[in-house]
Amino acid sequence: MQERPKTYNKQTGKSQIRKKNYSKKSNNQKTNNNIDTKVFALGGLNEIGKNTYCFEHDNEIFIVDAGVKFAEEGLPGIDYVIPDYTYLKRNEKKIRGLLITHGHEDHIGGIPFLLQIVKIPFIYATPLASAMIKRKLEERRLTNATKIIEIDDEYQIHSRYFNIGFFKTNHSIPESLGIIINTPNGRIIETGDFKFDLSPVGDPADYQKMSFLGETGVTLLMSDSTNAEVPTFSISEKIVANSVQEEFRKTEGRLIVATFASNVHRVQQIVEAAVKFNRKILVYGRSMENNIQVSRAMGYIKCPDRFFIKNDQAKKLPDNEILILCTGSQGEALAALSRIANGTHKFVKIKPGDTVVFSSNPIPGNAYSVNVVVNKLFRAGARVLTNTAFNNLHTSGHASQEEQKLMMLLTKPKYFFPVHGEYRMLKIHAELSQDVGIPPENTFVLSNGDTILLNNGTARLGPRIHVEDIYVDGNDISGLSTAVLRDRQILSEDGMVSILISMDSRSGKLLSRPVIISRGFVYMKDSFKMIREAEHLVEVNLSKLLQGKTTFGEIKNTTRDILSSYFYRKTKRNPMIIPVIMNKKV
């Protein structure tokens, strides 16, 4: 009978106990060198988002993170992109738990979708991440779908084949953790998102534990690649805090600040500045409201209740006593700042004297959307400040090149697997590893679904697992949205043609010539001759088809085939073709 994962309370001992806990193989691990340990990603490679990493040995699987990717331009109507969970569903009985590195959407946003498909016995997360996950599950009525166990950096998980521990890192959200995964075939470190901040807003990273792991041996390092293109060190959050406070001091009118709702450290600094300069706070954006509520309850955002006000209270205050804290720093169409810029927000209208601060950098692919919002704000009369080298209104929560090298120097891995980044980021990160002495043949620049097999301390490529993107429209995770997306793309590029077919199925005759209606394909008046020729072509072919036995499905398919080939030959375009059959009733 398979041994169930055991959980242990927080350790009170120091270095001696810690060394015992993080030995490469502990006594309860069953060693069998004929069995490989499999490592692979369902999401997070060649992209920013949907981080989902899997670790499998024999009949046990642990998953690290379950994130979403937000839809980019060219995905009309799509809310999220999630991984294909087919492999996990097929191996559901092997899953021992889901480990969470921190509470950002690209690491926890996919959990409600995952739990609708796959049974996860335990989710291990820090108190802040646990609170955010619980809120998501309550919204989707999934509170009983799994058991959430709160952990910290001293927590340990022991199963038959895995010994798992954690270490503190710095990121833009409190309680970020790296994960230590000891397997029968070697030790794996998954850093999660991290940076090295020598004067952090919260707790410092655990350099001692990272160094200890490096001294005792790391087989495979999986490390965050997001800022692999950025040289030197990233600036400290405390420098950003000073810049933010300077803008509060100088601004005389209303101050509107947009930032990531999940950047709890930044939101904390903005709220502290509001208290210091006596500005009352209006919060707009559902995710911002939720994260502030959770973070205040956990003690990470400290502010007297009287500083958070409602819209009717704001009308009685002068402009220099108002702060509007909102979502939309990435130019999202429906976010609060975009609606403010468009003049469609219910409560806020831009007026001369307003100052809008973007305390963020555009995520790759969002620069155009951000620029559109910035231009609209300028046009409405606002003063707009974005992050530059001169004002330090933002710093990334991800390690730059020198910090990435430091992680490798501390942990001293034998093999290196860059994760969490687009292809160029993974490639550059792999090249950086060579600067600190990791041989190029020991690095793996992979795609989602590629596997690494560990056996007795050596790593090699294994067989590929089939994965693909699943597009989520609303709460639909059936995969139907993927087909719907293709239809939307066809409509946006080539338009639609509808053809009305009047017939009598009893006599097998057409009652009139088929009629074509076009939307977004061609201008009907200018294409009269082509449309009439297409109608005649369908009429001739259907008349022949109706002389024998046929079905409505065959009639529709024949009509689509005729029109598709005809219109492509004439226009080099492939409109969506929708046959509509009107059958005479007796």
Residue 27 is assigned to a structural domain of this protein: no
More confident residue, 73 or 165: 165
| One domain, residues 429 and 554 | no
Helix (H) or strand (E) holding 404: helix 401-411
| One domain, residues 217 and 309 | no
Instruction: Give the domain CATH number at 294.
Output: 3.40.50.10710
Q: What is the pLDDT of residues 534-580, one digit of tens each?
A: 999 999 999 988 888 888 888 998 898 899 889 888 888 888 899 99
Q: What is the pLDDT of residues 117-139, one digit of tens each?
A: 999 999 999 999 999 999 999 98
Quickly list H helices, 96-162: 105-108, 111-117, 127-139
User: Who contacts 300 (Cβ-Cβ below 8 Å, separation ≥6)?
Assistant: 128, 174, 202, 264, 268
Residue 128 is assigned to a structural domain of this protein: yes
Q: What is the pLDDT of residues 152-205, one digit of tens each?
A: 999 999 999 999 999 999 999 999 999 999 999 999 999 999 999 998 888 999
Contact yes or no for 497/577 (Cβ under 8 A):
yes
The overall average pLDDT reported for the chain is 88
Residue 316 pLDDT > 80, yes or no? yes
Residue 481 is assigned to a structural domain of this protein: no
| One domain, residues 217 and 248 | no
Which residue has 């990160």 as its token pair?
429
Q: What is the pLDDT of residues 8-51, one digit of tens each?
A: 443 333 333 333 444 455 445 555 568 999 999 999 999 999 99
% of residues, the chain, pLDDT over 70: 89
Residue 459 pLDDT > 90, yes or no? yes
Contact yes or no for 123/66 (Cβ under 8 A):
no
Q: What is the pLDDT of residues 480-507, one digit of tens each?
A: 455 566 666 667 777 889 999 999 888 8
Q: How confident is the model at residue 399 (pLDDT cuts 50, 70, 90)?
A: very high
The residue out of 385, 419, 434 marking a domain boundary is 385
Q: How confident is the model at residue 52 (pLDDT cuts 50, 70, 90)?
A: very high
Region of residue 123 (left: phi > 0; alpha: psi -120 to 50; beta: else): beta
The residues annotated as belonging to the active site are 224, 398
User: Which residues lie across from 284 on neighbouring strands?
Assistant: 326
Q: For 373-397, what is the mean pLDDT?
A: 87
Residue 457 is assigned to a structural domain of this protein: yes
Backbone angles phi, psi at 274, to 5 degrees: -60, -40
Q: For 220-249, what is the mean pLDDT?
A: 92
More confident residue, 30 or 283: 283
% of residues, the chain, pLDDT over 90: 67
Long-range contacts of 164-168 (CB under 8 A, 24+ apart): 164/62, 164/99, 165/21, 165/22, 167/205, 167/206, 167/209, 167/210, 167/213, 168/203, 168/204, 168/205, 168/206, 168/209
The residue out of 359, 385, 411 marking a domain boundary is 385
| One domain, residues 283 and 205 | no
Residue 332 pLDDT > 50, yes or no? yes
Number of structural domains (the chain) is 3
Whether the pTM exceeds 0.75: the reply is yes
| One domain, residues 146 and 90 | yes
Q: How confident is the model at residue 210 (pLDDT cuts 50, 70, 90)?
A: very high
| One domain, residues 76 and 104 | yes
| One domain, residues 121 and 221 | yes
Q: How far is CA 470 from the centre of its chain?
A: 12
The residue out of 385, 406, 426 marking a domain boundary is 385
d(CA 532, CA 516) in angstroms, rounded, equals: 8
Angle value at C-alpha 340, between 339 and 345, nearest 5 degrees: 65
| One domain, residues 128 and 204 | yes
User: Who contacts 81 (Cβ-Cβ below 8 Å, separation ≥6)?
Assistant: 49, 50, 68, 69, 70, 71, 75, 469, 470, 471, 472
| One domain, residues 421 and 507 | no
Residue 516 is assigned to a structural domain of this protein: yes
Tokens of 365: 């692919």
Instruction: Give the domain CATH number at 214.
Output: 3.60.15.10
Residue 323 is assigned to a structural domain of this protein: yes
| One domain, residues 283 and 183 | no
Measuring CA to CA, which residue among 190, 156, 219, 222 is closest to residue 22? 156
Task: Report CA dihedral (338, 341, 342, 343) to the nearest 10 degrees.
Answer: 120
Instruction: Give the domain CATH number at 568.
Output: 3.10.20.580
Q: For 52-71, what is the mean pLDDT?
A: 95
Contact yes or no for 462/266 (Cβ under 8 A):
no
Residue 116 is assigned to a structural domain of this protein: yes
| One domain, residues 251 and 324 | yes
Domain extent, residue 82, equals 36-232+396-472
Q: Which amino acid is at 279?
A: R
d(CA 250, CA 330) in angstroms, rounded, equals: 25
Q: For 436-444, what is the mean pLDDT?
A: 96
pLDDT given for residue 366 in this prediction: 77
Residue 356 pLDDT > 70, yes or no? yes
Residue 391 is assigned to a structural domain of this protein: no
pLDDT given for residue 571 in this prediction: 87
Q: What share of the chain is helix, strand, coil (3-state, %, to 5)?
A: 35, 25, 40
| One domain, residues 507 and 556 | yes
